[in-house]
Structure 1
Amino acid sequence: MTPQELKNSILQFAIQGKLVEQRPEEGTAEELFARIQQEKQRLIAEKKIKKDKPMPVITEDEKPFDIPESWNWVRLGDISTYDHRKEKISANEITKDMWSLDLEDIEKESGKIINICKASERKISGDKVRFYRGQILYSKLRPYLKKILVAPDDGICSSEMVPFNLYGNIDSRYAVYFLKSPHVDFIINSVTYGVKMPRVGTDTMIELPFPLPPLAEQKRIVAKIEELLPYIDRYEQAWSKLELFNTRFPEDMKKSLLQYAIQGKLVEQRPEEGTAEELFAQIQEEKQRLIAEKKIKKEKSLPEITEDEKPFDIPDSWKWVRFSDVIDVRDGTHDTPKYVLKGVPLVTSKNLVSGKIDFDTAKLISETDAAAINMRSEVNTGDILFAMIGTIGNPVLVKKDREFCIKNMALFKPIDNRLFNMSYLLLFLQKEQEQMKKVQVVGFNRLCL
């Protein structure tokens, strides 16, 4: 379960009356709602608020879940001033020291204030909306971000935020947690309008069914949620570390296995299998035969491998060698042939992707040009291609199923498949990416294997 799923579960339990127990001595929501109606009638009589249009009765089909018997389903518009006219303030009435709250100042999901600015610090044009300490601030723009909070002080905001009060001393924090619950999140975001900048309409909000608990229980629900939130935060930190570990584990494990493999630590050494010194002698014998038959070129003698060049210890039965001692190292053409609409794929470094050749992006050249390139660097099954330009590396062990030729990349060919396993060389190349980047300086022939 993710931290967000855990938090959602707690909020859902809270608004269903399952987070804390019900206590008969705390009265009922029906009694609370009756007091709210009395309060509203008094405010109407005092002309402090206008008389609202009667809200439709909540039908059984509208009730999304069961609530305790001491609770009551009401509409948000019945218990709040959400749809009341907002107090506007013109730009010339705004004083420099007023708190100016933008949506960007509010952290998504948590509703925390992450930036506090005075009006003097902002370029303000047009009317703003006033809000007061203790009011609920609800962002009707992109409501899925859940930028909802109880205002900690007086200030001004854009008309995209709706400040509103609750009647009957309803706990504003309980209402905020309700508005952040997964149930409300689903309902609201299924009826928003506007594609790029979705908003929720006033009618949707005031007709929203609200599960109303008795006052004392509201406060106990809030206290329990706020007791649990620090644990969720700690769980999130641990979960994030675990996710990072799980993400990196396959790659880290692969690197460790490859490192063990090329150091001779992955499997045991067996005396009956002979030594690399003996194998090296056989490869040199085969190499001299191929040179004599003019099937490969004779390379210049390379210096002995010094102790400083050896990056790690290897078993006594192994041997450090240079690439060109055991591999036929070639490269593709460096010229740019004429491209055609139908012909032979010309594979370059950019076509080596995730251990495979991407022929879909390869350009085509004529069969005549391809034949000329393949005279010196024909690619066969079992050869390895290695990028020399751009991102150095991306080795590919070729399984040839079509004709193609190569440009600007290294081609590693076995001197004798019976004496050398190219899959082992592929593992080495995958592990030693940093070392292979030295090809820009010393060339492949001198690299140690």
Structure 2
Amino acid sequence: MTGQQLKNSILQMAVQGKLVPQDPNDEPASVLLERIRKEKEQLIKEGKIKKEKNPSYIFRGADNLPYEKVGKNEPVCIADEVPFEIPESWEWVRLGNIFQHNTGKALNASNRTGSLLPYITTSNLYWDRFELGNLREMYFSENEIEKCTATKGDLLVCEGGDIGRAAIWMFDEDIRIQNHIHKLRSYTEVCTEVCIADEVPFEIPESWEWVRFSSIIELQSGQDMAPDKYNANGDGIPYITGASNIENGSVIINRWTEYGKAFAYKGDLLLTCKGTVGTMAILDEPQVHIARQIMAIRTTGEIGILYIQVVLETLVASLKAAAKSMIPGIAREDVLKSLLPLPPYAEQKRIVSKLSEIAQFVAMYSLRENALNRLYSSFPDQLRKSILQMAVQGKLIPQDPTDEPASVLLERIRAEKQRLVKEGKIKKDKHESVIFRRDNSHYEKLDGIERCIDDEIPFEIPDSWSWTRFGTAMINRDAERIPLSVGERSKLAKKYDYYGASGVIDKVDRFLFSKPLLLIGEDGANLLLRNKPIAFIAQGEYWVNNHAHVLDSVEGLLLEYVATYINAINLAPYVTGTAQPKMNQEKMNSILIPIPPTAEQFRIVHEVSCITSVIGHL
């Protein structure tokens, strides 16, 4: 379980009444809701808020399922002519007895009198939902507006196409309809929706109630300001534009305006609804203007704003998924119609308190989880590096005292290279290096001068091993490389591998080398970053450009072992340049390399291969 999943689980428990125990002495939420309704009625009388045309009321029926009542009347049971049996709590009624019927206006491009208003067509009406991202506009006269306007609670039905496709217009804003949509409006206030069991996501305690957000909050949408309407001088009230103004639950103010229209007030919950969606903060300023990327939520009655924030955190993902726009966002109507599990006020406070109490532990869990994930992701690579380090230090496998010591192998390498020099196959090393031990120290004889190199030796090696310089041990074949441009390669058939600094980069119709050789990247960022192996064996017939060193060896010195060593060590001391890192031949030749006996080289290469194969499956 991730830290985010843990947090989501805790929030889910909180809003399901499973986080803290219920207290039978708490006043039930139904009483709280009644007080809220009375308070809203008082606010309506005082002219502070508008009366809702069809307020939502959700309750449990006799079948213990949640029901929603729109309006003041109880659901109507029908017992008239019926084609089948229905439950005792149901009633049959003719459609014409309870609904007023209208169709909308036919499109008439030549009629340009009246008000230009948005309207919906059958392309906006789907089963139980609307898609409002592509609303059209046409002109409506005053009489047409009265006839063709759908209001909250109206049932809209498609006349053609997918006949009968229907949805209830549950938005506070009125909308006009086109003539292929039937509008059914009840003569009296009846429940256009009854059972909502399919909407309720989980069971809640007996003392809790399900409510729509629209029943308990006021939602203020934002409005953008033109650049000449805001300033950075502190003149006016703060202007909050989006997620960039909210950090760690606090509001950051860097703009002001003297032309505020869309206000949020102290104690409101700010919710980002466009772009970076779901960022929230409780406003501490007396008054601010909000842009359209922000919604301001304020509660009515005894509803804790912090509890609202808890519930919204569990809903952000689904609200974002419900958005129809290509740009991530949360729709106002989706927030208002969402269901909220409402505990008693005292329990709301206990839930928020408990979440605050355990927040530090969730944060700590997330930190540990992130650290563990980093360890898991880096573990195979770190283990591989450790194995290579152990291998080239003689610590991976035990030494065999019967193995021919590496000093004998180095003598054969010197003799073989001298022979190749005499035959003109390689050039003589102008600065031949010989490393030996004396008085338990390491010395190097170079150009006839001996010096102690103990400070250069990176680690201790077994007695049967020997240190030498890379240039002494290897046969360099860089002079045989030939670079080919992209244009030149594009004209060639793709047959043989064409190698660069980090491996095969193309194919060509010819080859330079036809035996296994060691390639080591000469330049490029990989010399320092080491995202890929810097040393690798080229096989078969192939071509190498001038970005990879080409190296051969004398029998008894395995190229695979040399590659293992180069891939195990830090090459930064041998690299020049940072913008264009490069390891030239002189620097490469100066690398100190420990040489094991030939038999032990075979064992090391085999063991490393076996272990890295296992690591690859981690």
TM-score, normalised on structure 1?
0.83
Deviation readout 1:365-407 (Å, 9 max, x if unpaired): x54xx5xxx2xxx2523x2111112236443433525543433
**Do the aligned partners of residues 443 and 428 (structure 1) sit closer, same or farther apart at CA in structure 2, a change above 3 Å counting?**
same
Of the two, which has the highest radius of gyration? 2
- Asked whether 1:3 is paired with 2:3, we answer yes
SS of the residue aligned with 1:27?
A: coil
Question: What's the counterpart of residue 473 of structure 2?
Answer: 326
User: 1:101–1:155: 8 Å Cα contact kept in structure 2?
Assistant: no
Deviation at 1:17, TM superposition (A): 0.7
Which one is further off, 423-432 or 307-316? 307-316
Q: In 2, distance between residues paired with 1:260 and 1:390?
A: 27
Matching residue within 380, 385, 397 for 2:519 = 385
Deviation at 1:186, TM superposition (A): 3.1
Q: In 1, distance between residues paired with 2:224 and 2:412?
A: 91
Q: Partner letter of residue 491 of structure 2?
A: L
Matching residue within 205, 214, 217 for 1:77 = 214
Question: What's the counterpart of residue 445 of structure 1?
Answer: 589
Deviation at 1:131, TM superposition (A): 1.2
Q: Partner letter of residue 330 of structure 1?
A: R
After TM superposition, the structure 1 = structure 2 runs for residues 264-275 of structure 1, keeping only pairs within 5 Å, are: 264-275=394-405
**Do the aligned partners of residues 323 and 384 (structure 1) sit closer, same or farther apart at CA in structure 2, a change above 3 Å counting?**
same
SS of the residue aligned with 2:519?
A: strand
Give the structure with the higher percent strand: 2
**Do the aligned partners of residues 422 and 19 (structure 1) sit closer, same or farther apart at CA in structure 2, a change above 3 Å counting?**
same
SS of the residue aligned with 1:179?
A: helix
Deviation at 1:299, TM superposition (A): 3.6
SS of the residue aligned with 1:74?
A: strand
The share of aligned pairs that are identical, in percent, is: 28
Question: What's the counterpart of residue 106 of structure 1?
Answer: 246
After TM superposition, the structure 1 = structure 2 runs for residues 316-395 of structure 1, keeping only pairs within 5 Å, are: 316-331=463-478, 332-333=480-481, 336=484, 338-343=488-493, 347-350=498-501, 352=502, 357-359=503-505, 362=506, 364=508, 367=510, 370=511, 374=512, 378-381=513-516, 383-391=517-525, 393=527, 394-395=533-534
SS of the residue aligned with 2:467?
A: coil
Question: What's the counterpart of residue 270 of structure 2?
Answer: 137
Which one is further off, 148-157 or 5-14? 148-157
Q: In 1, distance between residues paired with 2:382 and 2:230?
A: 61
Matching residue within 277, 283, 288 for 1:151 = 283
User: 1:22–1:217: 8 Å Cα contact kept in structure 2?
Assistant: yes
Question: What's the counterpart of residue 255 of structure 1?
Answer: 385
Deviation at 1:286, TM superposition (A): 3.8
Question: What's the counterpart of residue 115 of structure 1?
Answer: 252
Deviation readout 1:267-319 (Å, 9 max, x if unpaired): 22221113111222233344445555555454435133431443333222111
Give the structure with the higher percent helix: 1
User: 2:223–2:292: 8 Å Cα contact kept in structure 1?
Assistant: no
Q: Which has the higher contact order (CA 8 A, sep 6+)?
A: 1
Aligned length in residues = 418
Deviation at 1:234, TM superposition (A): 2.2
SS of the residue aligned with 1:271?
A: coil
Q: In 2, distance between residues paired with 1:175 and 1:279?
A: 78
Q: In 1, distance between residues paired with 2:196 and 2:332?
A: 20
- Asked whether 1:62 is paired with 2:199, we answer yes
Which one is further off, 258-267 or 19-28? 258-267
After TM superposition, the structure 1 = structure 2 runs for residues 88-107 of structure 1, keeping only pairs within 5 Å, are: 91=229, 96=235, 98-103=237-242, 104-107=244-247
**Do the aligned partners of residues 254 and 204 (structure 1) sit closer, same or farther apart at CA in structure 2, a change above 3 Å counting?**
same
In structure 1, runs of 5+ residues without a counterpart are none
TM-score, normalised on structure 2?
0.62
Query: How large is the Cα RMSD of the aligned pairs?
Result: 3.0
Q: In 1, distance between residues paired with 2:223 and 2:543?
A: 73
In structure 2, runs of 5+ residues without a counterpart are 57-67, 69-194, 436-443, 445-452, 528-532, 577-582, 594-618
User: 2:221–2:294: 8 Å Cα contact kept in structure 1?
Assistant: no
User: 1:333–1:408: 8 Å Cα contact kept in structure 2?
Assistant: no
**Do the aligned partners of residues 114 and 205 (structure 1) sit closer, same or farther apart at CA in structure 2, a change above 3 Å counting?**
closer
Deviation at 1:167, TM superposition (A): 1.6
Deviation at 1:125, TM superposition (A): 8.8
Matching residue within 144, 164, 180 for 2:297 = 164
